[in-house]
Structure 1
Amino acid sequence: MRLDVPTLFAVVTLVALLMAGWICFMAWGKPARDALWAWGLALLAYAGSHVLFAMLGPQPLASLVIGGNLAYSVALSLMLLALRRFDGLDTQAGPPLLVQLQLFAPVLAIVLLYLLLMDQYAARVVAGSLTFSLQIVFILRSLLDRRMPRHGRGRYILLTAFFALLASLLLRSLAAAMGWMASNDDDAGRLWLTMVFVVALCAVISISLGFVYMTMERAELRNFELAMKDMLTGLSNRRAISDQLHMAVSRAQRQGQYLSVLMLDIDHFKRVNDGYGHQAGDAVLRGVAHTLLSRLRAQDQIGRFGGEEFLLMLPDTSLEGAATLAEALRQAVEATPTQWGAHRISVTISIGVAGGVITGAVTVDGLVAAADSAMYRAKQSGRNRCEVAPPLLAPN
């Protein structure tokens, strides 16, 4: 089957314009620095490059050739910028020098190379294709950046599309360098153009869907964090830590394992709010949360259970081990004041410990109630201390 190059031009251009329009519609009302705006503008530049290419005749005008390739390079730079903004790597202060070079140097290089090589078709194709390939390598590096902890399916769609684009550009560069194509108008040139535009059509659809899907994944992640995280401390909220405790109790019951919980409360927290203000109180809550979290094992879980109450879940931990950890945490909080302006605010905590071998008779509510009751005794006994609930079941 022989594909018509002008038709491919038109299809790729229309698809790019359609995708650009919908992505800009999605970005409507968002800040100008939002990643969606940069991606939408990139697709507009991509479509613009094909419009200019479509205007080329048998004797192409230098302005159209340079303009089309310049627009293509701008599109790739805007995509790189969009990815950096999406990942939060582009700040108000501006990207570092190396990133500025990655964004702007290829665009300038395209103009200079095409001005110098305008009369040398093969050299022009090789130079342009390699420059675009370098820009795609920058994009792939951004997509694979290790600083981003979650690589969802949208990111893998983008990786696949950009690898395909990279391969097609490198193959076209090789064909021009080996003399397999003398111009865009001979049979070989039209064949390579057909290959490039088929890949481009698939790529423009894939990169648009991939970026939109990546945006949806980010929104889902944020919604999950809002539902399951305490925004002040960054710890699990009451709902999340309760769900984790239910799963841990069920697992411990099936396997007959130890499980302990600590319920702790900041002593005289109202005095902090009254004496220093609620912002200082928030800082103290964050400081205590950080101190507790930094001294837990990877398998331990902690959540903010209430105003100034925290619940800690310790899998595979006996009552004695939990009591030892509780005392270490109490001492750590007492020894770690929170800096608030010129003030160093010291607080203490009272801790209730409950746990043991989990049997079918143990419930989550009963375990939490036992720890809460022990914490209440610690409060009644003078605060800044640990109290241990009676063991649930003595080990065999």
Structure 2
Amino acid sequence: MSLDMPTLFVAVTAVALLLAFWVAFMAWGQPARHALWAWALGLMCCVISQVLFGLIDHFPWALAVIGGNVAYACSLALMLLALRRFQEVEMVGWRWLAPIVLVGLICVLWLYEVRWRVLGVTLVFSGQIVVILLALLDRSQKQHGRGRYILVGAFTTLLIILLMRAAAAASGALDGQSSAEGARWLAVVFLISMGVILSITLGFVYMTVERAERLNFELAMKDMLTGLANRRAITDQLLNTVARAQRQGQYLSVVMLDIDHFKQVNDSYGHQAGDMVLRGVAQTLQSRLRAQDQIGRFGGEEFLVILPDTNLEGAQTLAEALRTAVEATPTQWGAHSIAVTISIGVRGGAVTGGDTADSLVGAADAALYRAKQNGRNRTELAVVAAAAVPGFMAMQATQA
């Protein structure tokens, strides 16, 4: 079956143009430096490249060859720029433009030397794709799920095709190629281009959507002031940890902490200083916990700490370490050094089938209340195995 070249050309160009339009539509209203704008421009450069190559018989030949290759190099450079902006990595200087200049020079110097021109520009394109793949596989970046894998697969496929093209040019296979063979090769390139354009744009958009979903989840589950888990998140974690401890017969300790005289901090220094104190205390607490421990802001100036597989003695030791760390770590606010203390209630030990998240928090909260009554800046232990306190968390949520 023969492939109709004009039809393929129109199809590939229309697909790339439509994708560029929709990506630009998605970017509408975003700052000019948004990653989607760079990606849309990259697709437009790809369209220009396809037009120049597809209509090479209707353009001045030299203009079509030089312009088409330079436009393709621009497309890859803009895609790399978009990816780095997405990753919030600043591209230093104008080094990302170097491949574009290099491709232009190769085309000018070897305009009539088909083998060396094709080999040179293909190797530059391959190098650009390698840099894109390295950025996608950068371990210092957060992983972005399936969208990233789509991009890696599409760019790897394109890299393989380009390396095959470079090998054909280096071996001289292109020199004796008939016009019919050239047309078939161009048809294959058009088909591959359509698949790659669809795949990389789908992958990039999907990766953007995945990050937006992750950010929305973090907003829903994270306290934006302290960066800790919010009440909803830490409550869910406690429910899961209690269930696991009951199934596996493990110890579990729950610690409630409250900043002493926090209202006086707000009254004396202002609410911004109070916010800074909350952040400072949160950082101090988090830095002293183990990897398996969980902490969240339970409400106001109160924090909940979950200590899996920890008995009462271990929980008391850690609670005292947290208390002394906070006392020894004042918060700097301008010229002021604001020192605060915390009171702590601990419920630790074995978890029975009758224990619930409500009952554990209730017991720890009762111990915290005793610490407040007994002078603050101290740790109190739950004196008995706490019975369930019906609706405690619902009551606290209503009060918060």
TM superposition score category, shorter chain reference: over 0.9
Alignment check: 8 A CA contact 2:23 2:37 kept: yes
Tell me which residue corresponds to 1:55: 55
Tell me which residue corresponds to 1:64: 64
Q: In 1, Cα distance between the equivalents of 2:198 and 2:299?
A: 48
Alignment check: 8 A CA contact 1:302 1:311 kept: yes
- Judge which range, 254-263 or 180-189, deviates more: 180-189
TM-superposition CA deviations, 1:136-180 (whole Å, max 9, x none): 111111111112122310010000000011111111111111121
Q: In 2, Cα distance between the equivalents of 1:378 and 1:185?
A: 90
1:165 and 2:193 are equivalent in the alignment: no
Tell me which residue corresponds to 1:147: 140
Q: In 2, Cα distance between the equivalents of 1:42 and 1:281?
A: 47
The alpha-carbon deviation at position 184 of structure 1 amounts to: 7.6
- Judge which range, 36-45 or 275-284, deviates more: 275-284
Amino acid at match of 1:3: L
The alpha-carbon deviation at position 189 of structure 1 amounts to: 2.4
Q: In 2, Cα distance between the equivalents of 1:167 and 1:4?
A: 25
> Which of 247, 250, 263 is equivalent to 1:270?
263
Q: In 1, Cα distance between the equivalents of 2:188 and 2:236?
A: 53
1:15 and 2:15 are equivalent in the alignment: yes
The alpha-carbon deviation at position 363 of structure 1 amounts to: 1.1
| 5+ residue gaps, structure 2 | 387-400
1:105 and 2:98 are equivalent in the alignment: yes
| Stretches (4+) displaced over 4 A | none
Alignment check: 8 A CA contact 1:66 1:115 kept: yes
Distance 1:143 1:182, change over 3 A: same
Q: In 2, Cα distance between the equivalents of 1:304 and 1:340?
A: 22
Amino acid at match of 1:165: L
Distance 1:372 1:392, change over 3 A: same
> Which of 376, 381, 387 is equivalent to 1:383?
376
Alignment check: 8 A CA contact 2:144 2:211 kept: no
Amino acid at match of 1:313: I
Alignment check: 8 A CA contact 1:355 1:391 kept: no
Tell me which residue corresponds to 1:200: 193
1:190 and 2:190 are equivalent in the alignment: no
Q: In 2, Cα distance between the equivalents of 1:183 and 1:5?
A: 21
Q: Aligned ranges for residues 124-143 of structure 1 at < 5 Å?
A: 124-143=117-136
Could you say what the CA RMSD is over the residues aligned between the two structures, in angstroms?
1.5
SS in 2 for 1:392: coil
Q: In 1, Cα distance between the equivalents of 2:47 and 2:73?
A: 12
Tell me which residue corresponds to 2:92: 96
Tell me which residue corresponds to 1:299: 292
Q: In 1, Cα distance between the equivalents of 2:367 and 2:193?
A: 67
Alignment check: 8 A CA contact 1:259 1:357 kept: yes
Tell me which residue corresponds to 1:288: 281
The alpha-carbon deviation at position 243 of structure 1 amounts to: 0.4
1:350 and 2:343 are equivalent in the alignment: yes
Amino acid at match of 2:325: A
SS in 2 for 1:312: strand
Tell me which residue corresponds to 1:209: 202
Alignment check: 8 A CA contact 1:333 1:349 kept: yes
Tell me which residue corresponds to 2:312: 319
- Judge which range, 17-26 or 334-343, deviates more: 334-343
Q: In 2, Cα distance between the equivalents of 1:332 and 1:283?
A: 17
Amino acid at match of 2:266: N
Q: In 1, Cα distance between the equivalents of 2:49 and 2:334?
A: 55
Q: In 1, Cα distance between the equivalents of 2:144 and 2:213?
A: 14
Amino acid at match of 1:6: P
Amino acid at match of 1:65: V
Amino acid at match of 1:310: F
The alpha-carbon deviation at position 372 of structure 1 amounts to: 0.5
The alpha-carbon deviation at position 252 of structure 1 amounts to: 0.8
- Judge which range, 144-153 or 263-272, deviates more: 144-153
Q: Percent identity?
A: 63
